[in-house]
Structure 1
C-alpha cells in the first residue's frame, strides 16, 4: 500500500470551494487539521476564515483567542502568509454572540431586536437550548457566506456524535416554525395574543401559578417578537441546505486509525453522501508508519546487560511490549486505508504523522501542512 510523497494538502487537490466543513469524531485532532488546512490555503493566496469551536488552550493562544472578546474575527499573522496575497482570520464560535447577530439580521426593526435580546426567556433559551452550538454554527456560516468577505471559510464542526444535529439543524428550524404548537403560540399574532395576552384564561392562570406574572409577560413578548425572526430564518434555512449540497461546499473528514474511529468515519461518510454533500477526502491523523520486526532478542540482550546488569531482562520485556504496541498502531493505519478504500474507492485518503508534542504554534501548523501524504491501495 504505497504512499505518494510530497503531495499537496487535500484542499489544494480538491475542486475550488468557498466553504469546507471539517468533520469527524472527537479527540482525533480535527480542530488542528482544520486550522492547518486554513493556513495552507492562506499561503496559496486565498482570503481564509477558520471558524472553530473548542481549540486546545495552546492552539487557541496561537490563533489569538486568549484575550479576544467572544465572537471576534481575529487576524492571524504568520510569516508563511506574508507576500502571498492571502490572509487568515480565526473566529471562536460563541453561541450567544451568533444568536444575537441572527436576531439583528432578521428582526423587523432595531427596536424589536433590542427587545428580544433583553428578554430573559431569550437568554435562557439560547444558553440552554439542546443543540444550540449546532444551530449557532449553521447561522454563523450562513451569515458569513452571505457577506462574501472571504474566498474560503473552513468550519470546524462538532464531533460526529453531534454532527448530524449540525446537518439537520436547518430542517429542524423549518419544522419548529411549521409546527402547529409553535404557530398556535406565536400564531399569526392574533391567536397567540389571545392565548398569551392579558386575560383570565386557564392557560394564563396555570402559567402564572408556575412561573409568576413576570414570566408570563416575558414569555408572551418573546414568542411575539421572536416568531418573526424564526419565520425569516426559516425562509433562509432551505437556501442553506442547497448551499451545503452545492459545488461551493465540500467536506473533509478527519479520523484516527483506530478501528472504532474508522468504523464511525465510514458510517458518517455514508450519511454525508446520502445527504448529497461533496466529500473531498479523508485525513488519517496521528498515524504511525509500519514498523519492521525487532532484531533477534539475543542481539539486544548483551548491550542491555552491559548497561543495566541484572535489570536487563525486565527492560527487554518492556521494550518488546512497547514496540509491539507501536507495530500494532502502524498496522491499524494500513488497515484503516483498506477499510475506507473498500467502502469508498473514489475518495482520496491522506495521512498525517503523529506529532510529539502536538502542534501548538502557527509554525507547527505550517510545518504540519507540508507533511500530508496521499495513500494509495
Structure 2
C-alpha cells in the first residue's frame, strides 16, 4: 500500500509526531491531495503556524470548518467532485456543541450552559485539546458529511491521549464522589450515601451559602444526564479508530529526538492495537538523489585563482550535501525495516523551510501521494 491508497480508501487518517517536524503541514498537504483526487475531506488541526493558516485561508477561532474555494483547490487542473474543509479546533466551541447534542432538551442544555459553574468547567475543558480532538472527530464521523477526515494531533507524547480523553472525562464526572453533589432525587447511593450527600450540602451551604449550593446541585443534576452519552461516545470512538477504516501515520525528521519520538509512538500504537500505516520522513534530503555535481566547472576555470577557489568550495559543499542525502536515505531505510504488512515509509521532498502558499501544499501533497 502507498499513501495514495490510504488517501483513497481510509475514512480517518491520524497524524502523530513531535513538534517541529512538519506534521501539521503534512496533514494539510495530504488533505489537499485527497480532495484534488475527488474525495470530500476535512482537515482538523490544533494550532497551525500562522503562515500555514494563511495559506489554507483558515480563520482563527472559526466556529465552523472553512471550505477551500474550488478555484483555489483545483488550480492547474480541471475541477472535480472533491471538496476540502479545514478547521482549527476550538475546545470551547466543541464542548458547547457536545452539551447541546447530548442534553435531553433545549431547556436542559440552557440549564447547563447558563450556569456560572459551566464557565469553570468550560475553562477546564479548554485546556483539554485531546478531548476536543476526540469529540470533534467522533461528531464529524457521526454526521457522515466527509469521506476522509485528517486529524493533526497535539505535538507531544500525550498526543494519543485523545483516545482516552472522553473516557477520562466520563470517569471523572461519573465517579461516586460526584454523586454526593447531585440533588437527592438523582443520587444513586443508599441511605448512607444520601446522608453523606446531606452532610456535604450542609457544609457547602455554611461555607458558600444555600443559594450557591443549590445552584451547584442543579448544575450537577442537569449534567449527570450526559454521563451515559459520554461513555457511549468514548467506546464508539475507540471502535472506529481500531477499525480498518482508520490509519495512523507517524511524521518525523532525521533528528535523533524526533526519531525517538516516532519509535515511542509506534510502540504505543502497537500497545493500543491501533492501525499503524507507516512513517513520513520530513525535513530530510532523502529524496535528493539528483544533486548536480559542480566538478565539471573545473575545466572552465584557470589552474589557479579566485574562480578555481570558488569552484573547489562548491565541490566541498556538494560533498557535504551528498553525504547528508545519503545519511537521510539510510534513516529512511531503517524506518522501513520491519514495517507491518501494508505500512509505508516515505520521504517528503525538502521544501526549504515553511511552505508559503497553497500551491506549495498542492506540490507537497502530490509528491507524497505518488511516493
TM-score, normalised with respect to structure 2? 0.82
Q: Which residue of 1 aligns with 2:17?
A: 24
Aligned partners of 1:174 and 1:201: how far apart in 2?
24
Q: Which residue of 1 aligns with 2:30?
A: 37
| More deviation, 334-343/108-117 | 334-343
List runs of 5+ in structure 1 lacking aligned partners.
1-7
Compute the RMSD of aligned alpha carbons. 3.8
Distance 1:187 1:16, change over 3 A: farther
Q: Which residue of 1 aligns with 2:269?
A: 272
Q: Does 1:59 align with 2:52?
A: yes
Aligned partners of 2:207 and 2:329: how far apart in 1?
60
Could you report, residue by residue, the CA deviation over 1:180-237 in whole angstroms, capped at 9, with x for unpaired residues? 223333488533899999x996534544566566653443232111121232221221
| More deviation, 324-333/29-38 | 324-333
Q: Which residue of 1 aligns with 2:121?
A: 125
Aligned length: 358
Aligned partners of 2:166 and 2:112: how far apart in 1?
21
Q: Measure how far apart 1:178 and its partner are.
A: 4.5
Q: Measure how far apart 1:110 and its partner are.
A: 0.4
Distance 1:229 1:141, change over 3 A: same
Q: Which residue of 1 aligns with 2:100?
A: 104
1:175-254 superposed matches below 5 A = 175-186=171-182, 189-191=185-187, 203-204=200-201, 206-207=203-204, 215-254=212-251
Aligned partners of 2:129 and 2:274: how far apart in 1?
21
Aligned partners of 1:326 and 1:167: how far apart in 2?
41
Matched residue of 2:187: which SS? helix
Q: Measure how far apart 1:48 and its partner are.
A: 0.8
The answer (yes or no) to whether the contact 2:89–2:133 under 8 Å persists in 1 is yes
Q: Does 1:158 align with 2:154?
A: yes
The answer (yes or no) to whether the contact 1:70–1:97 under 8 Å persists in 2 is no
Aligned partners of 1:9 and 1:214: how far apart in 2?
62
Q: Which residue of 1 aligns with 2:285?
A: 288
Q: Measure how far apart 1:274 and its partner are.
A: 2.2
The answer (yes or no) to whether the contact 1:196–1:204 under 8 Å persists in 2 is no
| More deviation, 179-188/96-105 | 179-188
Q: Measure how far apart 1:118 and its partner are.
A: 2.0
Q: Does 1:306 align with 2:306?
A: yes
| More deviation, 171-180/276-285 | 171-180
Distance 1:205 1:161, change over 3 A: same
Could you report, residue by residue, the CA deviation over 1:225-279 in whole angstroms, capped at 9, with x for unpaired residues? 1121232221221111111111121112111121221121122112112222212
TM-score, normalised with respect to structure 1? 0.81
Aligned partners of 2:184 and 2:315: how far apart in 1?
73
| More deviation, 133-142/162-171 | 162-171
Q: Which residue of 2 aligns with 1:330?
A: 325
List runs of 5+ in structure 2 lacking aligned partners.
none
Q: Measure how far apart 1:137 and its partner are.
A: 0.9
Aligned partners of 1:354 and 1:97: how far apart in 2?
36
